A and B are shown apart, each in its own frame.
Chain A
Amino acid sequence: MGVQQVRLSETVRYLGDEALDGLVAVNYGHNSFLESHAVFVLSGVRPIGESAVVVDLSGASTLIVTPAWDAERATKLSHTSKTVGTDDLPGTLATVLGEHRIDGRKLVSVGLSTLAQGLAKRIEAALGGNSRANELFIRQLARIRSPEELAASQRATAIAEQGYAHMLTCVRPGLHEYELAAELYCEMKRLGAEDNFLLMSASQHNLAVRAAGGRVLDVGDIILSEITPCYQGQFAQICRTTVIGKPTPVMHEKYAILQAAMRAGQKAAVPGASMRAVTAAMDDCFRASGYGDYCRPPYMRVRGHGLGITSDLPGDLTAESDTRLEQGMVFVMHPNQYIPETGYLMCGEPVVITPDGAKALSARVAELDSVAA
């Protein structure tokens, strides 16, 4: 039984426990890196446009995709009982709910709060206006990666590492940032990445990583890259720092703080640990080096975060999060940090939670890399 069938079965069990007739999960047509994709989790399909999955208490399920012409592809991929293509999602949803004989008063919705409100209102009307929402259902349902999802995460990680290795062969003074980003992005696509949350930029003193632009690379630049390919619906992220020319001793010294924070975070991230505790373990490394005042925005953002589409749990690695880690959770851990002497530096790996702590999925953990000028 594939993971979608397992999750559809768990959904039916949930409906029974809650005395509900059915569930409607919707998605807004984005391949979000930061949010779970309720339609993908239940059907195995990422439709081109807005979409919905209807599941009823008997176990029957229907995937509705837009645009209508995407139906044939979706039908081949979907694990639902039926697939329908349409250019009118609310209208077709109303019809499908009738076919499933679902009473709108005994219906739970997932994902309506992520839709554009114009569409959300039309869908709410199609649901009868009496449904209840459980926006957390899918992220909880899919919070632990299945073996095949973990394998895809590992493949995504390998693509990220190979892409970065390719980037190192392309870097040279005189290249535009966007040309380097094109090399990096297209190489990972050649390796099978369907999408990529890619940020890559360079400066002599970075404030943060940003989108690649028209800047021309030069000797002494520090290239920051946040490389996040998606493979079979699983994102993996590595964060890397590359110097054009020979890194200075102070660069090595400060980068070692990030590496120490990464190791401390991995050690602390055991099943049952809170995100708050893991964050504290990482921040302590910066505090010990005199950078406690910099453990907040705008000098950093978060120490890691969930990787979306399947589930965005465990959420952001912050000092405020009480979320508890569970074995099998996959997320990115990245003690990326602005340091006054060097500018922003990046160091991060995708990790899976094991009894021994957070195990990096990457084959080679981040070093301060350099390329000849």
Chain B
Amino acid sequence: MRTVQPCIVIGSYVWDQDRVPRDEFQIRIAELNRLMDANGWKAVLVYGDAAEHSALAWFSGFTTRLRWGMALIPRQGEPRLLISMSSRDVPAMKLMTWIPDVVSGWSWDSAFDPWLAKLEGDGPIGSIGFELMRPPLFASLQKSLGNRFSLQAADEAVAAVRSTRPRELSQIRAASRLVQAAGAAFVEPWRLGKDIETSALAAERTARMMAAQDVRTLISFDGGRTLSPFRGAFEPQADRQSGMAGYIAVKHMGYWADLFVTGTRRASEVEQRTQASLRTLLDLAKPGAVAAELYAKATVALAPYSLHPVLSGSVGRRIGLSLNEGGEIRSDSGHALKPGEIYSLATGGYDPQAGGALTSAMLAITATGSELLHLSPASKLQ
């Protein structure tokens, strides 16, 4: 789900060596080294910003909370991490990564050029995440590279070799447990007659008190027809018999988990069809399942209702260090599900009389099937 990107991520991302020890990064960098050798890259530059930094976090451990960061990883020599923060903030940023050499990128020439000068010879350099880079920064980088080095996009090659590591799965399970607690807290105030924003804030508070680094919520002010960002109005429930709908995503130890919340006070067909649609997805999501076929069967189960507009034509996507790691499950998707992938599945519809129904689940695709990580909380309020 697309949510509002906050002005800063307020949670802490200190490198937790108990959960992700140095050898984990050695394994990941070894994968990168193999790609560098195969492609003749002298180095790989991994870029991320506050909104999207999955690859940067995977290779460096560093999560960009504000502006941008870039890991400079040579095939031979020492890596450097550039951060778009003041030199005042460097000591705190050093706690977030295994890379010892952390430098403020605000003085580009003195931060990047000396590192580049240590690369021997010339040739291509791989780049990751450069589509996200702002044009002025890219211009500075191109000026530094000059004619000596060319850039080759490494995004697809890296994505192909990057799999969910066992330690990552452990962290994702922890994030899943956290979002389940937050989801339960979302429903309770509404059940007691509180307004939807109080409900969402209760969920957020629960997550943050459990050390969530980031929390995103969307809420419905019209019984599940549309979703909106938090606006701070706290208007009372207009109709105590109406249902509720919302969405929450939490980031914990760098990994996202999310779920939809629907609360209904009376049974409705749209709610039943939504549950049937999710059951279809859960039954069929396994290695080799073709995404487009999953979509088709989930939407058939939802009939006579159309897929809820807020799902933007998708009943799932991969989730992890990014809220959207790709792999959207749409009518025209061309991929199949693979072992090791983590999916957030979501479905739902809208009925003018009964309101909206949205439900979701997260699961890990295993070698033989799938592991259910969590489901949306039960929708029945009474």
Residue in contact with A69 in the complex, picked from B136, B208, B211, B226, CB distance below 8 Å:
B226
* A212 close to chain B: CB less than 8 A: yes
Complex interface: stretch among B1-9, B110-118, B165-173, B338-346: B1-9
Q: Mark A183-205, 1 if CB is under 8 A from B, else 0.
A: 00110011111111111100000
* A114 close to chain B: CB less than 8 A: yes
- Complex Cα distance, B313 from A68, in Å, reads 11
- Complex Cα distance, B50 from A296, in Å, reads 26
- Complex Cα distance, B3 from A176, in Å, reads 28
Complex interface: stretch among A29-37, A243-251, A252-260, A268-276: A29-37
- Complex Cα distance, B65 from A33, in Å, reads 13
With a CB–CB cut-off of 8 A, which chain B residues contact A193? Answer: 232
A30 lies within 8 A of B89 (CB): no
* A120 close to chain B: CB less than 8 A: yes
- Complex Cα distance, B3 from A213, in Å, reads 24
B135 lies within 8 A of A117 (CB): yes
Q: Mark B1-36, 1 if CB is under 8 A from A, else 0.
A: 011111111111110000000000000000000000
- Complex Cα distance, B133 from A32, in Å, reads 16
B138 lies within 8 A of A117 (CB): yes
In the complex, which range does the number of interface residues on chain A fall in?
35 or more
B208 lies within 8 A of A298 (CB): no
A195 lies within 8 A of B133 (CB): no
In the complex, which range does the number of interface residues on chain B fall in?
35 or more
Closest residue to A211 on the B side, CB-wise? Answer: B12
Contacts A176-B211, A211-B65: A67 and B2 contacting too (C-beta < 8 A)?
A: yes
A298 lies within 8 A of B87 (CB): yes
* B381 close to chain A: CB less than 8 A: no
Contacts A117-B138, A186-B205: A211 and B10 contacting too (C-beta < 8 A)?
A: yes
A68 lies within 8 A of B12 (CB): no
- Complex Cα distance, B10 from A236, in Å, reads 17
Knowing that A46-B4, A186-B208, A200-B10 touch, tell me 20 more A-B residue pairs with CB under 8 angstroms.
A30-B7, A31-B4, A49-B2, A66-B2, A68-B312, A73-B226, A115-B134, A116-B131, A116-B132, A178-B12, A182-B208, A186-B205, A189-B201, A207-B91, A207-B92, A208-B92, A211-B9, A212-B12, A228-B7, A338-B88
- B-contacting residues of A (Cβ < 8 Å)? 29-33, 46, 48-49, 66-69, 72-73, 87, 112-118, 120, 176-179, 181-182, 185-186, 189-200, 207-208, 210-214, 228, 230-231, 235, 297-301, 308, 338
- A-contacting residues of B (Cβ < 8 Å)? 2-14, 49-51, 65, 86-92, 130-136, 138, 201, 204-205, 208-209, 211, 226-234, 309-310, 312
